[in-house]
Amino acid sequence: MGKALNVEEGGATEFATPSKIAENIQKGAASAAPFYLPVGSEVEVFQAAFARRLPILLKGPTGCGKTRFVSHMAATLNLPLHTVSCHDDLTGSDLVGRYLIKGSETVWTDGPLTRAVRDGGICYLDEVVEARKDTTVVLHPLADDRRILTIEKTGEEIVAHKDFLLVVSYNPGYQHVLKDLKTSTRQRFISLEFDYPEAKTEIEVVIKESGIDKATAERLVALGQKMRETTEATLETPPGTRLLVHAGMLIKDGLSPALAIETAIISTLTDDQEVKEALMDMVAAYF
């Protein structure tokens, strides 16, 4: 792991400015980063938020590029990425760490959040609203200007490394209404909204990710957008870009478009036979 790109050696300011970060990105790290095609100002906002170490909340439907965006930004900023997929059994200890028995000893072992806080890097809490409430208690002093992590079990109080950045994501609408972030938590974050990209962008993503030709990508994206428009009432979640990419991959590898779309998109989205048939009819209009 190289040195974080934003660090200015011996500089007067502790944090690099957004323009400095952008300049460093231009210098090269970007070429090795996972492919991410910006859909709006998210790269710019992320850089500016990182320059001020403001925590970031990403929200948007499934398969629209949130995780890819974080991997891309971590790589371009040359920051280690510690990802935690949150679920309803996830506790503060899963994030912070716990005592483990090793041989005849009990040894403290840092969790992913603590590792990022100590060593710097992005701690990305995916689907953060799924985590149990006690986890947000840990996040509060870390997500405001104190930037402190308190480990109750050891009595340790760690001031976050200067390259530590907290990023969380969630999928509004998908979770139960009760599972929302508390306002006091939310108001600590810069919020970036993700959505299905415009056709032009989505076509480019599908071509790049699946390797199919432009004409097929255009048809797939048009179909995907049509499904999003028309299935609001019948489908719980419309198809994200991920599903279009999967269908593209199968077509690229020789499956017929109808079979590729049926297996990658339609059967994935619904168990209802009638809905499935209606969607297959829609496919026939495009392929």
**How many other CB atoms sit within 10 Å of the CB of residue 138?**
22
Distance (Å, whole) CA 36 – CA 42 = 11
For residue 62, the minimal CB distance to ligand ATP (Å) is: 3
What's the length of the chain? 287
Nearer to ligand ATP, 44 or 152 (CB): 44
Is residue 83 involved in binding Mg ion (CB under 5 A)? no
Contact present, 32 and 80 (Cβ < 8 Å): no
Is residue 64 involved in binding ligand ATP (CB under 6 A)? yes
Taking CB under 6 A as the binding criterion, the range among 34-42, 105-113, 142-150, 269-277 that sits at the site for ligand ATP is: 34-42
Taking CB under 6 A as the binding criterion, the range among 25-33, 62-70, 136-144, 217-225 that sits at the site for ligand ATP is: 62-70
Residue 148 β-bridge partners: 159
Distance (Å, whole) CA 21 – CA 36 = 18
- The amino acid at residue 284 is A
Tokens at 21, concatenated: 């970060």
Binding residues with ligand ATP: total (CB under 6 A) = 19
**63, 238, 239, 257: residue in contact with ligand ATP (rule CB under 6 A):** 63
Taking CB under 5 A as the binding criterion, the range among 39-47, 63-71, 152-160, 245-253 that sits at the site for Mg ion is: 63-71
Strand segments (E) across 152-262: 156-159, 164-170, 190-193
For residue 136, the minimal CB distance to ligand ATP (Å) is: 20
Per CB under 6 A, residues contacting ligand ATP are 35-37, 39, 60, 62-68, 171, 197, 205, 209, 241-242, 245
